[in-house]
Amino acid sequence: METVKDPNVMREKIQKARAESRVVGFVPTMGFFHEGHLQLMRRARSECDIVVVSLFVNPTQFGAGEDFEDYPRDFERDKQMAEKEGVDFLFAPEVEDMYPEGFSTFVEVEGLSKIMCGKYRPGHFRGVATVVTKLFNIVPAHKAYFGQKDAQQLAIIRRMVTDLNIPIEIVGVVTVREPDGLAMSSRNIYLTPEERKAATILYRALKTAVEMIEKGEKDASIIREEMKKLISEEPLVSLEYIEICDNIYLKPLQALSGKVLIALAARVGKARLIDNMLFDLG
């Protein structure tokens, strides 16, 4: 595995690989790898000739008072893990390489960026859309792999590549969970043992929704109320939102049909956690 820091060098390497008719897969990350990241790398490895992983904690997607400084980082550990997964290139630029002095161009996916997590993290998705556009220009891959856990991010990136004619296929990969159901996240490291236990209520609430749907419940407000009730029984968990919507436009649904996304966000101690489930009701 080769580590590359310079965006121009990175682009030249990918252009060369493409000129040699190699299929390039790209996994953008902020590092501190867990099994969820490794699944993205494995999927890319199984589908592509060349696999590139980027590791960049992107300052523009963190708001004032958020955890940019504290975000977990362990470059040497990440490097070893990526190498073990057979990654070809680890792109790890410095902040100055991505945002040189005078940087002033941002990508805004309107509408989708302002709802759900966007309400609680103003500017977050503008930062994500901007850095992902830059990364797609630096790593002109055929396919890019993102976790379904960040369902809103995935919807925004799909919208953005369609709207801006970016020639890349976006592949969503299912959420990897701990044995007790908690969705894997680099931010789980912030949880105390007590909070870690309490956080499982989020998965249990989603499971409750699945059970209700399986029994034939189609009314989104009844499902949402039941989930809220369950989560409110856990004092260490403070719910931000539960949204029941389609997975493309993220438009709230009343009666469930077609592809349905149930997404939620909550604060547990210092951590802000998100999770979701996606169903196809035909």
- Give me the active site residues, please: 37
- Count of residues in contact with ligand PAF, rule CB under 6 A: 10
Under rule CB under 6 A, residue 274 binds ligand PAF? no
How far apart CA 116 and CA 250 sit, in angstroms, is 9
Under rule CB under 6 A, residue 28 binds ligand PAF? yes
- Closest contact distance (angstroms) between CB of 91 and ligand PAF is 11
- Closest contact distance (angstroms) between CB of 61 and ligand PAF is 6
- Kindly report each contact of residues 228-235 with a partner whose C-beta sits within 8 Å and lies 24 or more positions away, as own/partner: 230/201, 230/204, 230/205, 231/201, 231/202, 231/205, 231/264, 231/266, 233/201, 234/198, 234/201, 235/198
Within 70-129, the residues that bind ligand PAF by CB under 6 A are 128
What lies within 8 Å, CB to CB, of 36 at 6+ separation is 147, 149, 175, 176, 183, 184, 185
Among 38, 98, 132, 198, which residue sits at the site for ligand PAF (rule: CB under 6 A)? 132
Among 82, 131, 144, 160, which residue sits at the site for ligand PAF (rule: CB under 6 A)? 131
If the CB atoms of residues 61 and 175 are measured against ligand PAF, the closer one turns out to be 61
Under rule CB under 6 A, residue 172 binds ligand PAF? no
How far apart CA 191 and CA 183 sit, in angstroms, is 13
Within 143-162, the residues that bind ligand PAF by CB under 6 A are 150, 153
Under rule CB under 6 A, residue 170 binds ligand PAF? no
Q: What is the DSSP string of 61-92?
A: GS-TTSSTTTS---HHHHHHHHHHTT-SEEE-
- Closest contact distance (angstroms) between CB of 60 and ligand PAF is 9
- Closest contact distance (angstroms) between CB of 132 and ligand PAF is 6
How far apart CA 97 and CA 203 sit, in angstroms, is 39
Under rule CB under 6 A, residue 130 binds ligand PAF? no
Q: Strands 271-280, 259-268: parallel, antiparallel or unpaired by DSSP? A: antiparallel
Quote the Cα angle for 77-82-84, to 5°: 95
If the CB atoms of residues 131 and 277 are measured against ligand PAF, the closer one turns out to be 131
If the CB atoms of residues 87 and 256 are measured against ligand PAF, the closer one turns out to be 87
Among 14, 24, 25, 58, which residue sits at the site for ligand PAF (rule: CB under 6 A)? 58
If the CB atoms of residues 163 and 225 are measured against ligand PAF, the closer one turns out to be 163
Among 4, 14, 30, 184, which residue sits at the site for ligand PAF (rule: CB under 6 A)? 30
How far apart CA 274 and CA 264 sit, in angstroms, is 6
Under rule CB under 6 A, residue 29 binds ligand PAF? yes
What lies within 8 Å, CB to CB, of 98 at 6+ separation is 7, 56, 58, 131, 134
Under rule CB under 6 A, residue 36 binds ligand PAF? no
Considering only 27-35, 85-93, 172-180, 260-268, which stretch makes contact with ligand PAF by CB under 6 A? 27-35
Nearest to 158 by CA among 114, 119, 125: 125
Query: How many other C-beta atoms lie within 10 A of the C-beta of residue 233?
Result: 8
Binding residues for ligand PAF (CB under 6 A): 28-30, 58, 61, 128, 131-132, 150, 153
